[in-house]
């Protein structure tokens, strides 16, 4: 039991949440008639959400920097990825 509790670190929980979101999004992309188009729209909306959070995030206290990590998360996971970055910022 102690070994299980030691695995529940914030970093591991973050990875678990990112993997679950990615698996959910992949399942949804496979269900679509045009999965590439849906993926590109999701990536575009994620990048747009990152831009909005970067430039106007000072109002809520979350202004993510532009880095390969944040751009990659928002491009692959879309808007849920930007929300995950915000949750990490506020809760960790």
Q: What is the Cα–Cα distance from 45 to 74, expressed in whole angstroms? A: 8
pTM exceeds 0.95, yes or no: no
How many domains does the chain contain in total? 1
Q: What is the Cα–Cα distance from 61 to 57, expressed in whole angstroms? A: 6
Question: Quick one: CA torsion of 19, 20, 22, 24, rounded to 10 degrees?
Answer: 160
DSSP 16: H
Question: In terms of residue numbers, what domain contains 60?
Answer: 2-91
* pLDDT tens, residue by residue, 17-76: 878 888 887 888 788 888 888 888 889 999 999 999 999 988 888 899 999 999 999 998
């Amino acid at each position: 039991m102690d070994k299980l509790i030691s695995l529940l670190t914030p970093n591991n929980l973050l990875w678990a949440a990112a993997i679950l979101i990615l698996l959910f999004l992949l399942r949804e992309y496979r269900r679509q008639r045009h999965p590439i188009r849906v993926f590109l729209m999701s990536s575009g909306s994620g990048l747009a959400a990152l831009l909005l959070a970067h430039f106007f995030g000072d109002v809520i206290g979350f202004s993510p920097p532009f880095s390969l990590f944040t751009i990659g998360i928002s491009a692959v996971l879309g808007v849920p990825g930007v929300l995950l970055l915000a949750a990490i910022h506020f809760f960790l």
